[in-house]
Amino acid sequence: MATATKSNGAVGYNNQYLNNLVYQNGPANWNLMRPGLVTGTITADPGFLRYQADGTVDYHLQSASPATTTGNSVNAPTYDFDFGPRPINGTWSIGAYQYGTTPGPYPQP
């Protein structure tokens, strides 16, 4: 469902893969030439509102998603893809959309 990470060619020893959603990527979710740092990653069904292989998707999170409250503030954007504020109730969601936020104005002031 979410994109697998594969490193090819000349990659740095200090690469970091932080707070990702990976699920059902075969043959593996990670295929790294050099291990680097993988942390905060969820390797479970991310609980999107709708995901279809034909591309009709809604990447907003369902309430039971393991990504709703497992993000963190490190390099986190202030707004999600709907221009909704992050965090909500002191928690960040992993992914494009903050769970529990309302869309903000467009364009941003």
Q: What is the pLDDT of residue 32?
A: 74
- Mention every residue, 6+ apart, whose C-beta is less than 8 A from residue 8: 33
Residues of the chain with pLDDT > 70, as a percent, come to 83
24 pLDDT band (50/70/90 cuts)?
confident
Q: What is the pLDDT of residue 109?
A: 65
- Mention every residue, 6+ apart, whose C-beta is less than 8 A from residue 84: 97, 98, 101, 102, 103, 104
Mean pLDDT of the residues in the chain: 84
Answer yes or no: is pLDDT of 66 > 60.
yes
Q: What value does the mean pLDDT take over residues 18-46?
A: 81
Dihedral sign, Cα of residue 79, residue 80, residue 82, residue 88: negative
Pick 4 or 67 by higher pLDDT. 67
Stated pTM of the model: 0.76
Q: What is the pLDDT of residue 9?
A: 56
First-last CA distance in the chain: 34
Give dist(CA 85, CA 89) in Å, integer: 11
